[in-house]
Structure 1
Amino acid sequence: MLWEGISEFVHVAESNSFTQASQQLGISTAQVSRQVSALEKRLNTKLFYRTTRKVSLTEEGQIFYQHCRGVLDGLEAAERAITNLQATPQGKIKLTAPVTYGEQQVLPLINDFIQIYPDLEVTALLTNQNMDLVENGFDLAIRIGNLADSTLIAKKLGKRTNYVCAAPSYIEKYGMPHSLSELEQHSCLMGTNDYWRFIDNGKERNIRLSGRLRYNSGIALADAALKGLGIVQLPNYYLQSYLDSGQLIALLDNYKIPNETIWAIYPQNRHLSAKIRLLIDYLAAGLT
């Protein structure tokens, strides 16, 4: 009786949604609503403001949530302490990562990881949108560059380098740019943005450019550069093998932006389980 409705209450409080809470708990929305209503009746206190569009905590609900969250964290820690005694990590992991970086860098490492720990189940959503980890039930997210959300805990996994480059055939035919202003005289292979990023006199600059081709695919842009169709700016994981082999030549290195950090992030109101810690360490070793 004492614990009835607590888990449902906490999930609604963290997602601001009875529907989201029901999906995370694997029960019906009606059941979540009944449990929370029974809890409010037992406490003789209104815990949520409810409208047709929004659910939010009352002042009493906020106080009660802080205490309940601490209790549930303690229970989760106790469960992990028992689970960690087992030789093999097991259970489910849900993560999200950017599409191309996830395809090329993260998921191959995940495949290796679950070969080592076969009792794990991994669900990955690749998207370039910054998903809400708590609302969508993610254990982990991989993100690139500056992190705006200070409510998340972040661990550095590696770095991404952006290059400007072209094929030797293009350089032989059209020459090599030596300054940012010269880029306007060249065919630039553009992605979804109409600008490229550089460092000029110690400050970051966005240079607006245009060209014959505009793709929302880094793989296609790299292929166009290999075929001598123009100059491209892309992250290293599209280009590194071609740069190493000499099929592409790096340009304008004096203006290259600093390396961007690859992060693993997770909510700060969650203690890091052994399986997630193992995965983060494995990714850090593989992505460095």
Structure 2
Amino acid sequence: MVPVIILRFIYNYIEYYLVTIYLSTHTVFLYGNNMLILEGIEEFVKVVEKGSFSAAAKSMGLSKSHMSKHVKKLETRLGVSLIHRTTRTLNLTNQGQEFFLKCQTILQEFEEARASLVNETTDPRGHIRLTVAGAFGEDFLSPIIAAFLQDYPDVSIDITFTNRRVDLHEEQFDLAIRSGSVEKNTSQGEKLFSHALVTAASRAYLETHGTPRNFTELKGHNCLCGTLPNWRFLVNGNLREIAVKGSWHSNNGRALVHAAISGLGIIQVPDFYVTDSLASGQLVEILPEDRVENNCFWAVYPKSHHVPRKVQMLVEYMQAKLSTYKTTI
């Protein structure tokens, strides 16, 4: 049994936090002896998550009229419109979007605080939305995530594979796996895995066009380009970049590798794309002494003061499993 005084403290904390969201820019509606109460907030969050009042009501075991009534009362107390309603669609207002994201985080914190008090957080639980791109996600992360779900059956995961750089807040993702840098103004992250950048071509291409002796000679070659405008090299301990161009451009690493194997040109890709083709002799590494070793994949979260425990445990699980791959990639 959770001590009543502790639950009261948590309740008051959430109540205070929600007030501060609108205190500076909105009129606070007095309700009895409290500035703001939690009634309607859980209903509001659930309606947005499910996309309709009917679906939200079903998930909570309540009536549609109950959901509508409590969300309307919440809007009245706040003095703002949170949702645009039509007969067919439901869209958040700008104020509603801001309020939803913060309320969603707060309710998650409340549930985790409550669960921790009754010893329910030994194992993670709940749903995680994850976005990742490329062969790294398909070949390495997918089996790790499947193993995570085997170990923690109370978790469900929705994986979206896309090369598009999604807005984690806007599209309600809990986690993204990205290479390169972290956009610190909108997200926060931690290092997941390091890899090298390998520059390579087929023997046939090199026999016909010659082998570059340094990175500046790449300007005279057909460089098959990916999503990055410049290729990177570590020359005498200094990071150098060069703008390259060629007849092939793709945001898919496997497509670049196939084009290089066919003799079309030179590529620069993460090492795990070309491990097998280098070993078989289909490709030959160029300028191996200048390769950049410590490129990072990052686990990126929406920027907030709290990362849900289930998400943190998934990231730690991936880090542990990927550390065993470094000798084989």
Q: Which TM-score band (shorter chain)?
A: 0.7 to 0.9
Which string of whole-angstrom CA distances, capped at 9 and with x for unpartnered residues, describes residues 183-219 of structure 1? 23333333456653446684543423223x4444321
Where does 1:26-105 land on structure 2 (aligned, <5 Å)? 26-27=55-56, 34-41=69-76, 43=77, 45-48=78-81, 55-57=93-95, 72=107, 74-81=109-116, 85=120, 88-105=123-140
- Extract unaligned runs of 5+ from structure 2: 1-30, 32-36, 58-63, 86-90, 324-329
Aligned partner of residue 188 in structure 1, secondary structure: coil
1:237 aligned onto 2:272: yes
When residues 248 and 71 of structure 1 are mapped into structure 2, their CA distance, relative to the original with a 3 A threshold, is closer
When residues 144 and 24 of structure 1 are mapped into structure 2, their CA distance, relative to the original with a 3 A threshold, is farther
The partner residue of 2:316 within 258, 270, 281 is 281
Where does 1:102-181 land on structure 2 (aligned, <5 Å)? 102-181=137-216
**Do the aligned partners of 1:97 and 1:128 also contact (CA within 8 Å) in 2?**
yes
Aligned partner of residue 4 in structure 1, secondary structure: coil
The partner residue of 1:205 within 212, 216, 241 is 241
Q: Within 1, Cα distance between the matches of 2:52 and 2:194?
A: 33
RMSD over aligned CA atoms reads 3.9
Q: Within 1, Cα distance between the matches of 2:175 and 2:216?
A: 42
- Extract unaligned runs of 5+ from structure 1: 13-18
Using structure 1 for the length normalisation, give the TM-score: 0.74
Higher relative contact order (CA 8 A, sep 6+): 1
**Which amino acid in the other structure matches residue 46 of structure 1?**
G
When residues 32 and 73 of structure 1 are mapped into structure 2, their CA distance, relative to the original with a 3 A threshold, is same
When residues 171 and 146 of structure 1 are mapped into structure 2, their CA distance, relative to the original with a 3 A threshold, is same
Deviation at 1:56, TM superposition (A): 3.4
Deviation at 1:103, TM superposition (A): 1.3
The partner residue of 2:220 within 180, 185, 193 is 185
Using structure 2 for the length normalisation, give the TM-score: 0.66
Q: How many residues align?
A: 273
Q: Within 1, Cα distance between the matches of 2:226 and 2:167?
A: 26
Same amino acid, percent of matched pairs: 33
When residues 287 and 268 of structure 1 are mapped into structure 2, their CA distance, relative to the original with a 3 A threshold, is same
